[in-house]
Amino acid sequence: MRFDHSTVLTNYKNEPIPTLADDGKTQEDLTLYTVIIRSLHTVHNNPANALTAGQLNEAFQISLRMHPGKPLDLSPEDMVLIKKRVALIYNNPLVYGRISQLFNPQPESPEDG
């Protein structure tokens, strides 16, 4: 599937979710790019949740494909790894839910009538 990694994740009111920028001081909108990079590159404090060598390589390959202004192509396997890491690193139902919605869009139901 193809994604625009500059997509801004929104809260329940459809407002951008704020997050701290990499400088740790300023706020910015939470984007798909930020979620993917942070979830794949953050080391979890429990060794049982460490990435395997294969997963590390997969995370590296995904990161290499992320270029500003260019769409991001993700395989189903890429999306599974990202969703697992988002659940682990963010541990936030809103962020996980928005990623799940992006990765598994529901077709709109046809209008009655």
Count of Cβ atoms closer than 10 Å to residue 60 Cβ? 11
DSSP-derived pairing of the beta strands 18-20 and 27-29: antiparallel
Would you say residue 113 lies in a domain? no
Q: Is-contact 102 3, C-beta < 8 A?
A: yes
Would you say residue 108 lies in a domain? no
| Whole-number pLDDT of residue 79 | 96
Per-residue pLDDT tens over the stretch 5-42: 899 999 999 999 999 888 888 899 999 999 999 999 99
Residue 36 burial (C-beta neighbours within 10 Å; 0-12, 13-18, 19+): buried
| Whole-number pLDDT of residue 99 | 96
Beta bridge partners of 78: none
Percent over 90 (pLDDT), the chain: 70
Question: Domain count of the chain?
Answer: 1
89, pLDDT greater than 90: yes
Would you say residue 43 lies in a domain? yes
Would you say residue 96 lies in a domain? yes
Would you say residue 74 lies in a domain? yes
The boundaries of the domain holding residue 8 are 2-103
Would you say residue 11 lies in a domain? yes
- First-to-last alpha carbon distance for the chain, in angstroms, is 32
